[in-house]
Copies of this chain bind each other. A is one copy, B any other.
């Protein structure tokens, strides 16, 4: 009887739904060495990745298309059609890490509907994780340790008259210590992404859980706001306003809503790419509020300005700077534009509280930033 009801149910509703847009899902055999990518939607077999060869297989059902390609890592790969209109293509070997990619249907860049959607380059994108083996364990879910929570919160910003969405990581122990107060790291995404970047693409919760459980990092709250409030072409104004939002709306809201330590010794800010720029803008104009800072692939000192004048002269007196800022963490991937020369200039000028970090073999992408976070966080609040 129960089975009959369920069968009827399945026929009625699944039938209606799948006839219109859906697909029937079934687990399919994959070529040897390939597994569904960790970025796939629930139970999707494709795209599939081979951890050893670092190749990826893609599949799209498109019987009416004339030409289908996959566009990943700056290269287009042709896909081939079988008699059922199913197109398959292979790419790689790829460098390990997270890639945005697109399927080209007759030249139009669309998403792969069997892959999680990520917000990147200011629109919805497909993404795929090319696995890197055991080295990546620090950002994967570890079933043997306690886990923090990512809290999704909407709050009203008076500064820009908008409902704003933030994600807030609290450590696993937060619930168990109802009177304990915690230091706070404000962690900012980059251009074209949003407040979900660090928790989704970056796996920051797994990284934090692991560091805290191992005793390498202080238990802390991590606040991930949206750093984009205007258009790209408007980046100057947007970034101008964003400091106001962080300082006048966001920090007071967090200190009111969570059990935070509110002195500057217990407040840090870091960001990747454009978020690194927002970090420098915010911290350097509010030195009474922050002691710790990090810029991941996002720190710029213009050579011809000289370290004395850049950022309105914040580095002019290196002793005064080191008294105010305990840590200026500057990181980069070795395959992207390096800030090494500027870091050397700052050190030569006498700045001591500077840590320079390189992610070997990675470019302007999430593996660089996961590694940076993993090395940055243990230095905070100590």
Contacts of A103 in B (CB 8 A): 110
State which residues 225-261 of A face B: CB under 8 Å. 226, 228, 230-233, 235-236, 239, 257-258
A151 and B154 form a contact (CB under 8 A): no
A23 at the interface (CB under 8 A from B): yes
Binding site for B on A (CB under 8 A): 1-10, 12-14, 16-18, 20-27, 41-44, 60, 62-66, 71, 74, 100, 102-103, 105-111, 113-117, 119-125, 141, 143, 147, 149-156, 163, 167, 175, 178-179, 190-192, 194, 199, 205, 226, 228, 230-233, 235-236, 239, 257-258, 273-274, 277, 281, 298, 300, 302, 305, 309-312, 337, 364
Contacts of A175 in B (CB 8 A): 257-258
Chain copies in the assembled complex:
2
B111 and A26 form a contact (CB under 8 A): no
Distance A315 CA – B21 CA, assembled complex (angstroms): 37
Distance A3 CA – B27 CA, assembled complex (angstroms): 53
From the candidates B43, B178, B236, B312, name the one contacting A6 in the complex (CB within 8 A): B236
Contacts of A23 in B (CB 8 A): 121-123
- Interface SS of A by simple majority: mixed
A65 and B143 form a contact (CB under 8 A): no
Closest chain B residue to A280, Cβ basis: B5
- Given A141-B154, A178-B179, A21 and B125 contact (CB-CB distance below 8 Å): yes
B117 and A143 form a contact (CB under 8 A): no
Closest chain B residue to A153, Cβ basis: B149
CB distance from A6 to the nearest CB of B (A): 5
A123 and B312 form a contact (CB under 8 A): no
A7 and B42 form a contact (CB under 8 A): no
Closest chain B residue to A190, Cβ basis: B13
A13 and B65 form a contact (CB under 8 A): no
17 sample A-B contacts, Cβ–Cβ < 8 Å, listed by A number: A1-B305, A1-B309, A2-B311, A13-B190, A13-B273, A13-B364, A22-B120, A22-B122, A25-B232, A42-B119, A65-B105, A105-B108, A111-B117, A113-B124, A149-B152, A152-B167, A154-B205
